[in-house]
């Protein structure tokens, strides 16, 4: 326990706004698992962020619980890391309010994701969608996180978080650790593209191009057999001219642990009719134990409950320490 205090802290979260995908696994969760020994990790299911766009309540509840089961099945370990649900720790909303008073309207207006999402949901541009990055800053700063593993699309939000923290520290003296985005290397499978349109990131909003962690083998195989490639026949990595094949190679390497050279050599002289199902098989074997373990855990609700309750208690203790400090600094009367 004592040397754990010297470990750097990591915080990250995924919204339960859709099912976890092969992209979430290769781009995020796999790295989270690997960071558990070296860092003091806090991993969250950010359900409060999910309601910035309309959700069906029953689906949201089910997906949040499935997400926890899948976190565990992927190897996130509640003995090593804090795993919890954002809405169970009210300090997130409380610090979110305070930080909103240290964030400029103009800063939030410049967020690329806000501009995109407010176009997509033009009939429902809520204040929550606008202040979403402030809640995300609260998530990170409550735990005094040093590193925030996220995809490239979240870099701007982590930068804003850092600006808010720096501003607060400047006004009131050191309060928050300044976090850094930790963006995994793309050549390690960090950016999985859609199987249907390999120029876009694999996304839960594009079901055919997207493999879900819980997809059964025959569905996975069907999606890989239909994956978009090109009119050549050679299996080689060339991101510019062969984005589909390059994406499949990246996935194959991430799933099997082989290097690109090894993979290219293995398929030399073979066409896509051999290559695509081989990638499908590799992914099926990668996901099989995860799917089976997650399904088993979903039948053990009592265990899942004990994990998220314990996680919320541990998270709440860390979060409250930061929030107390913030209350003192801004001038609230101690309770």
Starting at the edge strand found earlier in the chain, the sheet holding 180-182 runs 82-85, 40-45, 9-14, 147-149, 180-182
Told to check if 81 binds ligand TRP by CB under 6 A, we report no
Q: Which residue is catalytic, options 8, 30, 80, 204?
A: 204
Residues 153-182 that bind ligand TRP (CB under 6 A): 154
Q: Examine the residue annotation and report whether 80 is marked as an active-site residue of this protein.
A: no
Give Cβ neighbours of residue 142 (< 8 Å, ≥ 6 apart).
91, 92, 95, 318, 319, 322, 323
Per CB under 6 A, the list member of 35, 46, 142, 278 interacting with ligand TRP is 46
150 touching ligand TRP, by CB under 6 A: yes
Binder among 10, 12, 177, 251 for ligand TRP (CB under 6 A): 12
Residue 180's contacts (CB-CB under 8 Å, 6 or more residues apart) are 146, 147, 148, 158, 162
Residue from 83, 87, 86 nearest 29 by CA: 83
Interface residue with ligand TRP among 41, 64, 74, 136 (CB under 6 A) is 136
Residue in the structure block whose two tokens are 């793309």: 186
Q: Which stretch binds ligand TRP (CB under 6 A): 148-156, 240-248, 308-316, 327-335?
A: 148-156
The pair phi, psi for residue 65, each rounded to 5°, is -70, -40
Instruction: Name the region of 331 (left: φ>0; alpha: ψ -120 to 50; beta: rest).
Output: left
- Shortest Å, Cβ 171 to ligand TRP: 23
- Between vectors from CA 298 to CA 49 and to CA 220, what angle results, nearest 5°? 80
Q: Which of 118/234 has CB closer to ligand TRP?
A: 118
Which of 68, 95, 111, 148 binds ligand TRP (CB under 6 A)? It is 148
Active site residue 201: yes
Give the H/E segment covering residue 147.
strand 147-149
Instruction: Determine the size of the site formed for ligand TRP (CB under 6 A).
Output: 12
40 near ligand TRP (CB under 6 A) = no
**Pick from 64, 140, 253, 315: which binds ligand TRP (CB under 6 A)?**
140
Is 204 noted as a catalytic residue in this protein? yes
Helix (H) / strand (E) element for 59: namely helix 57-74
Q: Which is nearer to ligand TRP, 13 or 244 (CB)?
A: 13
Q: Which is nearer to ligand TRP, 185 or 335 (CB)?
A: 185
- For residues 14 and 150, give the distance between their C-alpha atoms in angstroms, rounded to a whole number: 9
Please tell me whether residue 192 binds ligand TRP under the rule CB under 6 A.
Answer: no
Site string for ligand TRP, 49-68 (x = CB under 6 A): x-------------------
Binding of ligand TRP at residue 72 (CB under 6 A)?
no
Per DSSP, the three-state class of 42 is strand
Among the listed ranges 11-19, 68-76, 252-260, 315-323, the one in contact with ligand TRP (CB under 6 A) is: 11-19
Sequence-ordered list of residues with C-beta below 8 angstroms from that of 303, at least 6 positions apart, any chain: 297
CA distances from 175 to 91, 99, 178, 179, 323 (A): 16, 12, 9, 12, 10
Query: Residue from 40, 139, 146, 215 that binds ligand TRP (CB under 6 A)?
Result: 139
Stretch that binds ligand TRP, among 9-17, 74-82, 94-102, 312-320 (CB under 6 A): 9-17
Q: How far is the CB of 16 from ligand TRP (least distance, A)?
A: 10
Cβ atoms of residues 97 and 135 within 8 Å: no
What residues are paired with 41 via a beta bridge? 10
Residues that bind ligand TRP (CB under 6 A): 11-13, 15, 46, 49, 136, 139-140, 148, 150, 154
Q: What residues are annotated to the active site? A: 117, 201, 204
């Amino acid at each position: 326990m004592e040397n754990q205090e010297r470990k750097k802290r990591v915080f990250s979260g995924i919204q339960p706004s859709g099912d976890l995908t092969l992209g979430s696994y290769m781009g995020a969760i796999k790295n989270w698992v690997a960071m558990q020994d070296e860092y003091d990790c806090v991993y969250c299911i950010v359900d409060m962020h999910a309601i910035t766009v309309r959700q069906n309540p029953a689906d949201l509840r089910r997906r949040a619980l499935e997400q926890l089961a899948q976190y565990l099945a992927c190897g996130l370990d509640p003995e090593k890391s804090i795993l919890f649900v954002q809405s169970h720790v009210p300090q997130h909303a409380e610090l979110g309010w305070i930080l909103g008073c240290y964030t400029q309207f103009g800063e939030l207006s410049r967020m690329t994701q806000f501009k995109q999402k407010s176009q997509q949901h033009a009939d429902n541009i809520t204040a929550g969608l606008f202040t979403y990055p402030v809640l995300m800053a609260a998530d990170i700063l409550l735990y005094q996180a040093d590193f925030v593993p996220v995809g490239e699309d979240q870099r701007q939000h982590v930068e804003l978080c850092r600006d808010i923290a720096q501003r607060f520290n400047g006004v009131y003296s050191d309060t928050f650790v300044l976090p850094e985005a930790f963006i995994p290397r793309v050549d390690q499978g960090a950016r999985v593209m859609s199987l249907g349109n390999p120029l876009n990131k694999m996304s839960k909003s594009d079901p055919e191009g997207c493999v879900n962690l819980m997809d059964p083998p025959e569905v996975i195989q069907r999606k890989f057999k239909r994956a978009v490639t090109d009119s050549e026949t050679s299996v080689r990595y060339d991101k510019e001219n062969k984005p589909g094949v390059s994406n499949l190679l990246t996935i194959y390497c991430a799933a099997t642990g082989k290097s690109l050279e090894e993979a290219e050599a293995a398929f030399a002289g073979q066409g896509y009719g051999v290559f695509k199902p081989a990638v499908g098989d590799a992914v099926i074997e990668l996901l099989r134990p995860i799917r089976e373990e997650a399904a088993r855990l979903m039948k053990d609700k009592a265990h899942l409950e004990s994990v998220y309750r314990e996680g919320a208690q541990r998270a709440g203790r860390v979060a409250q320490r930061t929030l107390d400090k913030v209350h003192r600094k801004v001038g609230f009367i101690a309770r």
